[in-house]
Amino acid sequence: MVQAMLAMDTGLGLVIGVGLSMSASHLFSLLANRLCLRQIALQMVVDALVLSLALSLGILCHSLMLMLMEHVPPQPIMMANRMGAALWPGLFYVLVAAPYISDLIAVTLLAWIHLNVILLLQVHYGIPLQEGLVVSLPGFVLALVLIALVFAQRWRASYNTLAREVGT
């Protein structure tokens, strides 16, 4: 497993970078909850790793769908390295912390990533756009569900704590 992860140098680095960017969008809430620096760092690292795992599972799902639908041999390492070109907009996910327009930024960035994946499938595997949408949709939905679970469970709890403290 470690050797496979080391072979995914570019793709894995970008997946972790996107996970850190998503985690950093939560930094303001952590600071407002008056957590110490160690608690903030620990929570951000754990969130980044969980979010990176969600994105990695999405990439694995893309590889499986390629195998099932297009009979492309599964090569998750090559797929992860190629995903680097598709995931780079996620590095700007930290901007989701902006008030009032955060949902628009999040949806735009996630749609941009999904469009990049569809284009990547067309360029590298010759899959038409309509089939690329079908191939990439399960992995994208899986990653979104896992990301939403992290947001709902961990991040909403800290926002609720902050709202209670401000309200009293």
pLDDT tens, residue order, the chain (168 aa): 556 555 556 677 788 888 888 888 878 777 777 778 898 888 889 888 888 888 888 888 888 888 888 787 767 677 777 777 788 898 898 888 777 788 888 889 989 999 998 998 888 888 899 998 988 999 899 988 988 887 776 666 666 666 676 666
Q: What is the pLDDT of residue 112?
A: 93
* DSSP states of 19-82: HHHHHHTTHHHHHHTT--HHHHHHHHHHHHHHHHHHHHHHHHHHHHHHHHHH-PPP-HHHHHHH
Q: How far apart are CA 126 and CA 61, in angstroms?
A: 18
Total tally of structural domains belonging to the chain: 1
Q: What is the pLDDT of residue 52?
A: 86
Q: What is the pLDDT of residue 156?
A: 66
What is the pTM (predicted TM-score) of this model? 0.78
Q: Which domain holds residue 115?
A: 2-167
> 73 — phi, psi (to 5°)?
-55, 140
